[in-house]
Amino acid sequence: MRLKKKYLISFYQEVGLTILDKVMPYIKKAMSREENIFLIGADVNQKNSMRFKVQNALKNKVNILLPENIFEEDIFLKEQNMLSLENFLAESVDAVVMCIESPGSFTELGAFANHEKLSEKLIVLQDKKYEREKSFINLGPIKYLKQHTSSKVITINYNRDFNDIETIKLIKAIKDIKKSIGIVNYNIFNPIFAERYVLALLYVFGSIQKRYIIEIIKHIDILKDENQRMQKEKTEKVISIVNSSLSTLSQKKELNFNFNEKSFSLTDKGRYRINYEYDPQFIHKFLDFQRLKVLNFF
């Protein structure tokens, strides 16, 4: 039984690596066509928060990631430090939009403004009420960003809805930053990339347990990364990336979870996205061929 399980994992890893090599150009192209951002601020469950208002305004216009969904498994809280988190943010998205409305966001603004790469791709939404105050935030990080970086500071009224004019202005700022810097890492540890890769895995395998997705991505990382000194830390990253991808796909209603088999599969909406992001010839000649290979294996 143990040998069979080992052979099964090996098969999953082989197919998973083949899928990655073929879908990578499609994923890169899809990511380059859209604007991908991290949105930082107060809890989005607070309906009166600016972060909630911005999320609603940008919905269906920009691809929004919430850091708390990415880091729900504490990948950077145990083994890694704040610098690792900043590097991750700087490399994974086109821009980081910050709603300065909570103690956490105050701290993050100071840290991010001092980061060599991240300080160039921030969009700070400043509350008009505090615009002229001689505060540490205004005289420190905001002044620095305005004078020394390509980051944007947009002043808005936090007591009102985020209106259409402000939405247009924000989207323009995101596009401007993307044009000058944009995403740096198109790899399996980018949560946007990983989400699309997991979507392709689910299409090919039909139904698969999370533990096998983790084994596939761990195998890819071992093959692609010659530096194997910090494997425990890497494993934690892999688990978090898989959880994040499944969580995001679930929120988008693109996957189903079978409680009895503890496995994931695509919904009709998930399959529709596959048909939208890949051309029919590629789906027929490659993805469907790999599906047939999986069916014959079992």
SS (H, E, C) 76-101: CCCCCCHHHHHHHHHHHCCEEEEECC
Cα gap 272→291, rounded to integer Å: 17
Which tens digit of pLDDT belongs to each residue from 43-92? Answer: 888 999 999 999 999 988 999 988 777 665 444 444 444 455 667 777 88
Q: State how far Cα 95 lies from the chain centre.
A: 12
The answer to whether residues 92 and 190 touch, using CB atoms and an 8 Å cutoff, is yes
Which tens digit of pLDDT belongs to each residue from 251-290? Answer: 889 999 999 999 999 999 999 999 999 999 999 999 999 9
The helix/strand/coil state of 264 is: strand
Which tens digit of pLDDT belongs to each residue from 218-235? Answer: 998 776 654 555 555 567
Domains, the chain: 2-30+187-297 (no CATH), 35-180 (3.40.50.2300)
First to last CA, the chain: 15
Predicted structure pTM score: 0.84
